[in-house]
Chains A and B, each alone.
Chain A
């Protein structure tokens, strides 16, 4: 049997090491709250994967995390860091809600769903493309510009909703037309009764599959990864760096712009101010833990979806804010372990020429 390469072993081992470290720190935090880790962990598992409603809620929370994870992972593959997924998701969801609400009643469902989902996609891509374009044209770092665009997006959405779009005495928009709404799983399977899980979960999985195909099976994906691996070599090979900066960030933004499909079309039927609650930032942890691979992103999103739902269940014992600490620790642990694991593996491995 062929032994896996050092890189391959490091790729598997380092996220595992990272998760173990974070798990240990999580236990310490739980102890610091005066709770027993065993009972908290038991309650968390029981409230998530222990019953169909819990499973439904976990998958419902996983849906946007797959999308924001991809929103970070795609630009990352090209060497760009999108921390603006939050703002892209907010404006995309708002666009989805606006189009959905202004369509005449009785619009055929394919037009209603396509139009409102498409609006989110386009607005997300545009908002994500700006930092890419600025990076390409002026060299302004996308981290600073995309976080500034987050703040601008929040203020813009808040202004649009508060002054123009809100229903009287609320902070949410008018509901979308009936035909634009997406079916919940509970309408097919009674076991999911009460859970907000809807068909946009399948959309998120499809987007992950499409991303995988794009990145690893098309010339465009090859060029995109080439830029991330070695920008100078890629440029020498004829790839335009400005194009790739703009394109990869816009593709990421498009994924984030689809978040509204889950929240607006599948759950609330309207856009509500402040709905995003950090999912864009959690996308960073999801992407890094998933090693910027679409399949890995889905797996990491499931883990964080479980944590998000689980912390609601155990909120009485441990403040739900613990999940935000854990997501940051996951990123740090993945970063630290990837170099550490590789260093240790190569130290243990016999060197070439040693016999």
Chain B
């Protein structure tokens, strides 16, 4: 038995939690502005594909990261178009965008790699440090540029939401858009900002999913966008709370992978259910007690 197992496990938990945390933060920005973002799942999936495609075409890992984030933001801007311009129900539009991302990535996967399961291997950003053993694992985590970028974004998101003019306006649009409009805030423009930030954050989460595997696999987001929404609720629509809640989901998945590797009596399929059951319990158990932004999910009919 390795004495450093808890450390290795913690590294694993952080690795797994990162995409959840990024998506949950994206959801927080979107929903604090008043737009329910079911499309997180599709944003992650299209960003994952965008990253692999960009990296494949250019041969440059960072160009891939840029392409992935752009793909995520493209899907987010479609959500903004549907909800803000066409005043469509955000939830129905979000589900449709998830289906679009699922079908679109499948279509492009077939066209680009002639496969219905996965892409070829591509370049991905690598950690600057690393090495053997426990401390090598730690080093490869804390010196990974994507990890550092994500942690910086998580810290920044708290500052943006609570200590900037944009953050204040965003929260006002989520709580009482008519009041915000009276104060001269352009509700649609501010909400657009929130949704695009969701595209940026959840997009980076999708990039990280694909980058850690160096390839795209069909439907690789696997419900993480929905799980991130549950984490956002669990974190009570606060960036740091949402990020912390994601550690819980990351830990559950890490335990599942660990048990699966050990070969227990519990069947694989039942272990795979764990994150989904946990999410179900979370949304059913905490939704009642946590208070969502007052205007979230309500279509803004004003100017």
B-contacting residues of A (Cβ < 8 Å)?
29, 33, 81, 83, 134, 137-141, 143-145, 147-149, 151-152, 155-156, 158-159, 162-163, 281, 284-285, 288, 319, 321-329, 331-332, 335-336, 339-340
Contact = CB atoms under 8 A, between A and B. Distances in A.
A320 B91 CA distance: 27
B103 to A, nearest CB: 3
22 contacts: A29-B107, A81-B91, A134-B280, A139-B287, A140-B283, A140-B287, A144-B229, A148-B223, A148-B280, A152-B273, A155-B273, A155-B276, A158-B269, A281-B99, A284-B92, A284-B99, A319-B110, A325-B100, A325-B103, A328-B99, A331-B95, A335-B88
B139 interface: no
Interface residues of B, number: 43
Contacts of A285: 96, 99
A138 B289 CA distance: 9
B107 A159 contact: no
Contact of A331 (B96, B111, B273, B285): B96
Given A339-B88, A340-B86, 16 more contacts: A140-B283, A141-B283, A143-B95, A144-B279, A148-B226, A148-B276, A155-B272, A155-B273, A319-B107, A319-B110, A324-B106, A326-B103, A328-B96, A328-B99, A329-B100, A336-B88
B269 A155 contact: yes
Given A81-B91, A163-B267, A319-B111, A151 B96 contact: no
Contact of A83 (B95, B269, B276, B279): B95
A33 B103 contact: no
Contacts, number: 132
B152 interface: no
A325 B92 contact: no
Interface in B252-274: 267, 269-270, 272-273
Given A148-B226, A155-B269, A325-B100, A331 B283 contact: no
Given A148-B223, A152-B276, A336-B88, A324 B270 contact: no
Given A151-B273, A152-B273, A324-B102, A331 B284 contact: no
Given A155-B272, A328-B99, A335 B92 contact: yes
Contacts of A159: 267, 269-270
Nearest to A340: B86
A162 B269 CA distance: 10
B52 interface: no
Interface in B225-252: 226, 229-230
Given A139-B288, A145-B280, A339-B88, A327 B99 contact: yes
A144 B226 contact: yes
A117 B104 CA distance: 35
B287 A321 contact: no
Given A144-B229, A152-B277, A324-B106, A81 B269 contact: no
A140 B86 contact: no
A276 to B, nearest CB: 14
